[in-house]
Amino acid sequence: MKAPMKQQPYQRPNTRGRGRDNVPPRHDFIVELKDLIVIPNIAERLKVSPKIDKRLGPSKNAWCEFHQAYDHPIRNCLALGHHLDELVKNGLLRDYLQEKQGTEDVAATGGGPGHEVPVHGEVHTIAGGSSGGGCTASQRRRYARTMMSMEAQRTNDAFDVDLVFTKADLEDVIPHDNDSIVISAITAGRKVHRVLVDQGSSVNVMFWTTFNKLQLSPDMLRPYGGCLYGFAGDQVEVRGYLDLRTTFTDGTASRTESIRYLVVNAFSAYNMLLGRPTLNRLGAVASTRHMKMKLPNLTGKVITIKSDQKKAKRCYENNLKTR
């Protein structure tokens, strides 16, 4: 019977004379590396070398989730570092990179100072848009038939987990008088603050000032022929729509989905508005009492995003000043 091969002891690589050429640059991500490498569209691009009978580091108790082996922590994994650096260079991780600098509400990557656009008004609740099916009765009936057909064909949702709010979720809540839920999200490679979670809106909205702060090109906009109405029944000018990958994270887990935004030429104290289409797509539940929004990630873990109560109150006060 052949004896098993003995594992070779770890030997520090000889880097004398080579400087740090073999060490990949370190990138800061909005999620932990162990959560980043299990995201399906990223995991399929990461190649793990076959296991060898050789120690990969000096730390016997350190665990690397990438190699699924001990001897080194994942943050010091050179192989993973090179893989991630290549993905960053190819623009495949731009939605997960942490912003290094920017303005308070929309982090920008430009070299010049950020300029705040004054807020002169607000679109409270929006009706219409793609979720309504269209402006005519025939379009809405066709939309309703399509939705009923999709519901009949729908199978068990892989992300259908229990989203429960408990007393523990109230511990960090500042006493408030019916504040709105205002969160942050990452889109177009930037962290956007003052995102209103509006369950009364039938569309997701990005305001024109935010579109410009994100330095997006107008060429990205596709024409929108539908109708959109504000809370008072007045028609709102729509510049077009676009799909952007948007990441929701609580710092321990994340979820990234392609979100369709209508770009609206209207002033608002908020940068973006997330309506029912996004909440339903994410399987998210928002609680104004607990000042949180909960949603499952791709592995079934519950992501809990806290509302920024200070920004919510500031937005409300700014709206009152402009009326």
108 within some domain: no
Q: Are residues 271 and 153 in the same domain?
A: yes
Q: Are residues 42 and 179 in the same domain?
A: no
**What is the model's pLDDT at position 286?**
95
Q: Are residues 60 and 148 in the same domain?
A: no
Could you say which of 89, 117, 136 is where a domain stops? 89
Q: Are residues 215 and 69 in the same domain?
A: no
Nearest to 207 by CA among 123, 308, 279, 128: 123
Name the percent of the chain lying above pLDDT 90.
33
Q: Are residues 168 and 42 in the same domain?
A: no
64 within some domain: yes
Q: Which domain holds residue 225?
A: 127-321
Label residue 142 by pLDDT band (50, 70, 90).
low
For residue 147, is pLDDT > 90?
Answer: no
**Structure tokens belonging to residue 268:** 């608002």
269 within some domain: yes
d(CA 73, CA 71): 7
> What are the tens digits of pLDDT across the range 110-128?
434 444 444 444 444 455 5
Nearest to 261 by CA among 189, 194, 210, 297: 210
**Of 35-49, 171-185, 264-278, where does mean pLDDT reach its minimum?**
35-49
Q: Are residues 194 and 316 in the same domain?
A: yes
146 within some domain: yes
d(CA 28, CA 10): 28
Number of helices (H), then strands (E), belonging to the chain: the values are 7, 13
Nearest to 219 by CA among 247, 240, 237: 240
**What is the model's pLDDT at position 69?**
82
d(CA 170, CA 201): 26
**Of 30-39, 168-177, 212-221, where does mean pLDDT reach its minimum?**
30-39
Q: Are residues 154 and 299 in the same domain?
A: yes
d(CA 249, CA 29): 11
- 272-286: average pLDDT: 93
Burial 281-304, CB ≥16 within 10 A → b, else e: ebbbebbbebbbbbbbbbeeeebb
- Burial (CB count within 10 angstroms: exposed 0-12, middle 13-18, buried 19+), residue 263: buried
Burial 170-208, CB ≥16 within 10 A → b, else e: eeebeeeeebbbbbbbbbbbbbbbbbbbbeebbbbbbbb
- Provide DSSP, 139-154: HHHHHHHHHHHHHHH-
Instruction: Report whether 263 contacts 239 (CB < 8 A).
Output: yes
**What is the model's pLDDT at position 175?**
87
60 within some domain: yes
**Structure tokens belonging to residue 209:** 């000032």
- Burial (CB count within 10 angstroms: exposed 0-12, middle 13-18, buried 19+), residue 278: buried
Residue with the larger pLDDT of the pair 29 and 183: 183
d(CA 5, CA 3): 6
The per-residue pLDDT of the chain, averaged, comes to: 76
Question: How many domains in the chain?
Answer: 2
